[in-house]
Amino acid sequence: MEKWPIGVFASIDAGLGVQLDIAKELGVTSVQLHTPHKANRTPAKAEEFLARLKAMGITISVVFAGFEGESYADIPTCQRTVGLVPADRRAERVQELKEIADFAKLLGVNAVGLHIGFVPHDHADPAFQDVLMVTRDVCDYLKGNGQNLHLETGQETAETLLAFLEAVGRDNLFVNFDPANMILYGCGDPIEAVTQIGSRVRSVHCKDGKWSDQPGVTFGAEMPLGQGDVGMESFIRALDAIGYTGPLTIEREIPQEPERQKAEIGAGIALLEEIKKTIG
């Protein structure tokens, strides 16, 4: 398989990410797919999507879950609304996550990505134990589908994330590493974090960002690839050092500005191609 195929975060029906036609125009061969809405998660739709993707020469590396009611407006809102952490939404979201996994299986995709939310750092916190239990439940369900769960980085430090993975104790639990999130949420140096998480990194987002002047309190600013504080070449070198050869999936979340989004992703692809040539 080609080392580091370039991909984009995409969606079929107005989720986050670029539309499939744009992915095709950008010339990428790989996408991470933001889950379609429930009404489109049917066997017939899966067949239709697969036929479209095949005609475009695009494969899906990861299906990313997302839930109604999640908001990334600011850090406290994220803590309250994102992933499997909010207790009032947990049961319904676990159920929906399993449905999304089943849909990913229909698409022949063996990895499901997720922002699990802000896991409490204190292992004695009852909420930590609850999130631990549902994560095991989800991992076991995915295992039955022959799938892995990839947790998106960013809302905790590498140490906290590793401690959580260890506590869950399932062999199909991995990491989708997003270097910009580490910076945007103020959770540590992304290059060091890649090295720490090592072989648990099974998919990545190529995204860039600048540190907030109050890291961890307010968000940093997402930037076009190469214009933030990640250091894309250092990031790719760090991925090389841990033996990561999978897709480099560009994520640029400005769907309200599709023309700018496309242009910036295009420039991001050119940057990654350059870096790939340099590193070899």
Write out the residues near Mg ion by the rule CB under 5 A: 178, 205, 251
| Least distance (Å) between residue 57 CB and Mg ion | 24
Closer to Mg ion by CB, 89 or 252: give it: 252
The least distance separating Mg ion from the CB of residue 251, rounded to whole angstroms, comes to: 5
- Looking at the Cβ atoms of 93 and 205, the one nearer to Mg ion is 205
Identify which of residues 96 and 251 has a Cβ nearer to Mg ion in the complex.
Answer: 251
Nearest approach, Cβ of 180 to Mg ion (angstroms)?
7
Report yes or no: 52 and 46 within 8 Å, Cβ to Cβ.
Answer: no
The strand pairing partners of 149, in sequence order, are: 112, 173
| Cβ 122 to Mg ion shortest distance, Å | 26
Strands 221-223 and 208-210: antiparallel
Q: Which residue type is seen at 179?
A: P
Q: How far is CA 270 from the centre of its chain?
A: 21
Nearer to Mg ion, 85 or 182 (CB): 182
Vertex 153, ends 80 and 273: CA angle to 5°? Answer: 135
Q: Which one-letter amino acid corresponds to residue 237? A: R
Structure tokens at 39: 């009404």
The smaller minimum CB distance to Mg ion, of residues 26 and 182, is found at 182
Q: Which residues pair with 25 in a beta bridge?
A: none
Q: How far is the CB of 204 from Mg ion (least distance, A)?
A: 9
Rounded distance between C-alpha atoms, residue 116 and residue 77, angstroms? 14
